[in-house]
């Protein structure tokens, strides 16, 4: 009960913060989340530099890539249509979803947000509570993710609901996410995540598939992953998709060598990732050269 009350207070505080001028809002938000002072004049670590980009760079242009539906046109333009999961329908409201036209398994998402409030996995259509779905996604469409996360490029997204192909794996670890960190169009690190439904496991590798220690002790795991089939192809895809950006995280899935696109993320964890050690923040920060903005 106390936890829910604190969470509600934090949500209210974030909404109030979002009405402040950008620099002040982010200094407050950063201090509240990390306990550290945000230096926007001379940012050094990864979180600080992402905050700088959100405040000074990201806007309507970046919204095209954050929009989970519109980004598909960019993927196609780069010649990678074959990695796009199938979309069964795009809707302006939850009431428009035509379940009779959907397969038994699918995923429902909105195109303008990130997190549990904005997606639902349906492994069996016959067991789906359609009223709950309508309630969840009607509420999701009303949420202003730009204000919630202080990621201003999201405000330019024309909000939609869409139903997408259900991607599944027979791997013992379930569906594995490969999040490729690209700096100035060059893949540098791969965050591999699994077991999302229970206890999320995170492991970082470099592009030679060597383990990289970037995390705080409490987020480390003894888990190790086998390099996926066609890993070099995944790196090539990530490189080509990330070319326009100083930093972009390209999320891919790999099912026995079959590659699927997940999303492009320009400001992961809203630019304040609390899982990194100081060393990890500095290693990632050194890869991001803000002097190359607009060059």
Quote the pTM value.
0.94
Tell me: the pLDDT tens digits for 37-62? 999 999 999 999 999 999 999 999 99
Q: Nearest to residue 178, comparing CAs of 187, 170, 286?
A: 187
pLDDT for position 174 = 79
pLDDT for position 14 = 72
pLDDT for position 17 = 83
Tell me: the pLDDT tens digits for 161-185? 999 999 988 777 778 999 999 999 9
- pLDDT at residue 3 above 60? no
pLDDT for position 196 = 66
pLDDT for position 244 = 96
Confidence band for 247, pLDDT divided at 50, 70 and 90:
very high
The Cα 189–Cα 242 span in angstroms is 13
Residue 293 bridge partners (DSSP):
none
Per-chain mean pLDDT for the chain? 93
Confidence band for 4, pLDDT divided at 50, 70 and 90:
low
State what percent of residues in the chain have pLDDT above 90: 85
Q: Estimate to the nearest angstrom the gap between the alpha carbon of 168 and the chain centroid.
A: 19
- pLDDT at residue 142 above 80? yes
pLDDT for position 7 = 61
């Amino acid at each position: 009960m106390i936890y829910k009350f604190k969470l509600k207070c934090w949500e209210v505080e974030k909404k109030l913060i979002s009405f402040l001028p950008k620099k002040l809002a982010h200094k407050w938000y950063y201090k509240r989340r990390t306990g550290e002072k945000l230096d926007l004049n001379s940012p050094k670590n990864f979180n600080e530099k992402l905050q700088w980009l959100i405040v000074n760079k990201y806007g309507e242009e970046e919204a095209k890539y954050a929009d989970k539906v519109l980004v598909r046109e960019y993927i196609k333009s780069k010649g990678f249509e074959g990695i796009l999961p199938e979309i069964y329908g795009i809707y302006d409201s939850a009431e428009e979803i035509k379940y009779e036209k959907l397969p038994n398994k699918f995923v429902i998402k909105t195109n303008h947000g990130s997190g549990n409030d904005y997606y639902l996995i349906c492994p069996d259509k016959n067991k789906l509570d359609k009223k709950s779905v309508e309630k969840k996604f009607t509420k999701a469409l009303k949420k202003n993710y730009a204000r919630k996360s202080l990621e201003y490029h999201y405000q330019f997204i024309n909000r939609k609901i869409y139903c997408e192909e259900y991607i599944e794996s027979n791997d013992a670890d379930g569906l594995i996410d490969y999040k490729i960190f690209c700096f100035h169009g060059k893949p540098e690190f791969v965050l591999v995540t699994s077991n999302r439904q229970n206890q999320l496991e995170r492991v970082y590798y470099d592009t030679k598939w060597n383990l990289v220690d970037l995390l705080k002790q409490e987020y480390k795991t003894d888990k190790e992953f086998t390099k996926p089939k066609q890993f070099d192809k995944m790196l090539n895809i990530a490189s080509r998709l990330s070319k326009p950006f100083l930093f972009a995280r390209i999320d891919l899935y790999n099912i026995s060598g079959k590659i699927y696109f997940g999303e492009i993320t320009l400001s992961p964890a809203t630019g304040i990732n609390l899982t990194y050690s100081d060393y990890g923040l500095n290693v990632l920060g050194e890869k991001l050269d803000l002097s190359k903005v607009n060059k």
